Structure 1
Amino acid sequence: MVDDVPLRTAVHTVWSLYPARHRDVDAADTRRCLLERHLQGRWEARVSDAEELTGFGLAYLERPPEDEC
């Protein structure tokens, strides 16, 4: 069984910080789905540290792609 706790921790941490810094973002924003997919890809590429994943997530949300979830 794969231990995905660092991945879930990173998603939770990033999504807690991002809306706090960007007041126009609500809990149902589609960027959360995009964030989860992005970090899942990093996780599958063997980035397994929650802090490193959090940094990737925050950087990703500052430059979100145009595609939707």
Structure 2
Amino acid sequence: FTGDTLFPGACGRVDLPSSNPRDMRKSLLKLSKLPEDTQIFAGHSYGGKCSSTIGYERIKNPFMRNAIRDEEIL
């Protein structure tokens, strides 16, 4: 269960006063290291589906892809 951290094709909001973009990046990186067939279940949806897999999100989720890319660059 990824709650409000990872959604199919998206991630949780980081524009709220108590949120931190760096913490979100760290969380996405930690999740990206799970086996690709790991099922994810989001806390809710933004009009789409509520479940996916880590493998699919590594490929299709722009927020997860950017976090992985940034780690490779740094």
- Fold conserved (TM > 0.5)? no
Instruction: Please report the TM-score for the alignment, with normalisation by the length of structure 1.
Output: 0.34
Bigger proportion of residues as strand: 2
Instruction: Please report the TM-score for the alignment, with normalisation by the length of structure 2.
Output: 0.32
Larger relative contact order, structure 1 or 2 (CA cutoff 8 Å, min sep 6): 1
